[in-house]
Structure 1
């Protein structure tokens, strides 16, 4: 399977040591980030299956790669170390036989393939070079692309009845939105439980990387749930010890409560703010509704700015949680952060969805330092108003990157930020 042209080599870093891993806020100077460069998994999308894989349309892969390379380049120009998920996956598989088995086990579904075809496909995948295996784990494989393994059509009803273009292993086009499958809080990582079937296996690949890649040797987990969904796009680190969690289409109340309990038990947070979100399909994540652009400032979609509320969750001191009644989010957040107020920057023009249905993600920005954010160029009004409010905006082209309905923050999993 063709994998396309090689990505540009990372820019050389100064110094001899990589930044220490960990994040306490959304806006501390970004030192290291994990991105996923669009690959052949995006070429699997079509007009017929885009909605199934949560995309508004099938993007142009060549242009998506060019735009993503420019995004990564803009980060590197600001001194950010960019790690690419695809590279990390190959290196983890090369480094560890257990990583290879973990990836194959997650990808090969006996429920879909049956025991005999599943076993033979797993055996075949174990023989592949790391790069070829990584490509299949991300881009999937159709029944028509299956190798000539010992389970033939005459001995497998599954193989005989499926069409050649059906997927034996699903592609993962949403890997480009690397924030959702994991996030870091203080010096620990949290593995998300993704709600949609089309995305469920993404977390297993990130888990594989953190568990087996030498770069993450000794890294400890903050949270992992395979029961109640929590997605990284719903988690905002407002300040050291203060975590906001959107509860709506992807993250459930049970997931938010389980996350709070885990963070309190490990002394990673003292307050969790659970924010109800409309289940409209417009705000799939809290990060599509609002993002932090400075230590005391957020850009918030106008549909939520006026009635955004939050339940305040604390440790009850006896192994459970104590939940205070909902109150206005700005008030609850300021109190938890020890501030007089939180600024909502011109939400009346932070347009995320226009009347004609175009998805702009103007309220989804990636902060790379206090008061410095990356935003899509087509959000010109929002970017101008952010600039007028003292926020430096680094604009990137994104006509293809937004096909899956995600902004710059969605595409970036910060691994290391300076403390504030």
Structure 2
């Protein structure tokens, strides 16, 4: 528990969490670019900030230390004295073809104090904010009606995805869509340079320099021996196999990975949008991931008999696989929206299955998913609801908005 990263379960009492308060990057969405930036709607900034502040206070009121991505990033850059290096790397990954634009952006960002520089990068840089020579041909062909030289990062308030805490280490993720690829650079910088994490024994199980993609919404820590990883729209089977090799070859505490195949659609982009753990023997589940008879394709990955080889077993009874992995006699799968033909897909769209456990049997959920919330209570779960009219527009719930850094251990 004295380590800066320590997560051995999904349900252990949450002690420290990483959030990102929505900022100008959300307000910089427009109807023309929101699909490109993976949004279906445009949140109202003052209200989404109010809702997010209430979410953070809910966590703090329950004994959780809340850290902020934007603040840690600035502190890490200053601690490592890497401001110019960080800007250069960020610009290199921002798809800027014009050398004139690149130079002007660097000059623009270098003039800010570090925190304002970080906030500006996150918010995006508009064309009107910097002057470019009128004879620059690359600029002239860059779409006069497109407002940005550097795109905003409105998905940043979903801190779950760019990285994931697994045991005493993290995966720093190569993300699927270009709109989110730069996000994990902030986590990488924090782990390398922030005094709280750098040289503190944090294992980097996987860095962001991979071609295969994985995202934190698909990474669930069932207990100190077993992970569940989603094969999904955002996480590839290849990435899961590579992570399994790293964890097994480097003698992590994890001995088994359950790779769970879910539909490759936006409404179910990550495993945690359809499946989360809420107690020792209880899970939320969206019925839409189950085939007739309740089947879900699940692949069990374990260390093979030969060094460097994986043993992979295909199973279809997810409930039985989970029971065996957790060592429980019975398992309670609580259907989102009660499995109703209307309520289930409606509440799943608004992340009714995306719960954040802050202790065994205690979860934070969106208030709008009242059918699922009442069903959780009927199954003995304490439900803490938060307002969600604007937060939910980004298609992510309380688990999506939080990256646990430290949880207390639980007994298996």
TM-score (norm 2): 0.91
Match of 1:75 in 2: 59
Among 304, 312, 315, the residue aligned to 1:326: 315
Match of 2:206 in 1: 223
- Describe how 1:289-328 pairs up with structure 2 within 5 A: 289-305=274-290, 306-316=294-304, 317-328=306-317
Q: CA RMSD in A?
A: 2.2
* Per-residue CA distance 1:379-409 (angstroms, 9 max, x = gap): 1111111111110000000000011100100
Match of 1:177 in 2: 158
Change in CA separation of 1:285 and 1:103 when aligned onto 2, cut-off 3 Å: farther
Match of 1:8 in 2: none
SS of residue matched to 1:216: coil
Change in CA separation of 1:356 and 1:102 when aligned onto 2, cut-off 3 Å: same
User: Partners of 1:130 and 1:392 in 2: how far apart?
Assistant: 41
Change in CA separation of 1:227 and 1:264 when aligned onto 2, cut-off 3 Å: same
Match of 1:62 in 2: 46
Among 250, 255, 280, the residue aligned to 2:239: 255
SS of residue matched to 2:30: coil
Question: 2:93·2:182 contact (CA, 8 Å) conserved in 1?
Answer: no
Question: 2:337·2:345 contact (CA, 8 Å) conserved in 1?
Answer: no
Mean Cα displacement is larger for which, 79-88 or 337-346? 337-346
Match of 1:49 in 2: 33
User: Partners of 2:218 and 2:311 in 1: how far apart?
Assistant: 21
Mean Cα displacement is larger for which, 241-250 or 126-135? 126-135
- Describe how 1:98-177 pairs up with structure 2 within 5 A: 98=82, 100-109=84-93, 111-146=95-130, 148=131, 152-154=133-135, 156-162=136-142, 163=144, 165-177=146-158
User: Partners of 2:283 and 2:14 in 1: how far apart?
Assistant: 17
Mean Cα displacement is larger for which, 132-141 or 212-221? 212-221
Question: 2:232·2:264 contact (CA, 8 Å) conserved in 1?
Answer: yes
User: Partners of 2:237 and 2:162 in 1: how far apart?
Assistant: 18
User: Partners of 1:299 and 1:337 in 2: how far apart?
Assistant: 16
How many residues align? The count is: 400
SS of residue matched to 1:92: helix
- Gaps spanning 5+ residues in structure 2: where? none
* Per-residue CA distance 1:184-230 (angstroms, 9 max, x = gap): 11111110111011111111111112211112122331222521101
Mean Cα displacement is larger for which, 91-100 or 174-183? 91-100
Mean Cα displacement is larger for which, 85-94 or 362-371? 85-94
Mean Cα displacement is larger for which, 129-138 or 287-296? 129-138
User: Partners of 1:132 and 1:224 in 2: how far apart?
Assistant: 27
Question: 2:223·2:326 contact (CA, 8 Å) conserved in 1?
Answer: yes
Residue 385 (1) aligns with residue 368 (2): no
User: Partners of 2:96 and 2:53 in 1: how far apart?
Assistant: 36
Match of 2:404 in 1: 414
* Per-residue CA distance 1:47-76 (angstroms, 9 max, x = gap): 222221111100000000000000000000
- Describe how 1:275-294 pairs up with structure 2 within 5 A: 275-294=260-279
SS of residue matched to 1:214: coil
User: Partners of 1:39 and 1:240 in 2: how far apart?
Assistant: 35
User: Partners of 1:356 and 1:111 in 2: how far apart?
Assistant: 37
User: Partners of 1:284 and 1:356 in 2: how far apart?
Assistant: 15
User: Partners of 2:242 and 2:172 in 1: how far apart?
Assistant: 13
Change in CA separation of 1:256 and 1:18 when aligned onto 2, cut-off 3 Å: closer
TM-score (norm 1): 0.90
Change in CA separation of 1:390 and 1:126 when aligned onto 2, cut-off 3 Å: same
1:26 Cα deviation after fit: 0.5
Question: 2:4·2:197 contact (CA, 8 Å) conserved in 1?
Answer: no
Change in CA separation of 1:31 and 1:400 when aligned onto 2, cut-off 3 Å: same
User: Partners of 2:353 and 2:107 in 1: how far apart?
Assistant: 46
Match of 1:6 in 2: none
1:19 Cα deviation after fit: 7.0
Change in CA separation of 1:96 and 1:360 when aligned onto 2, cut-off 3 Å: same
Among 313, 326, 329, the residue aligned to 1:337: 326
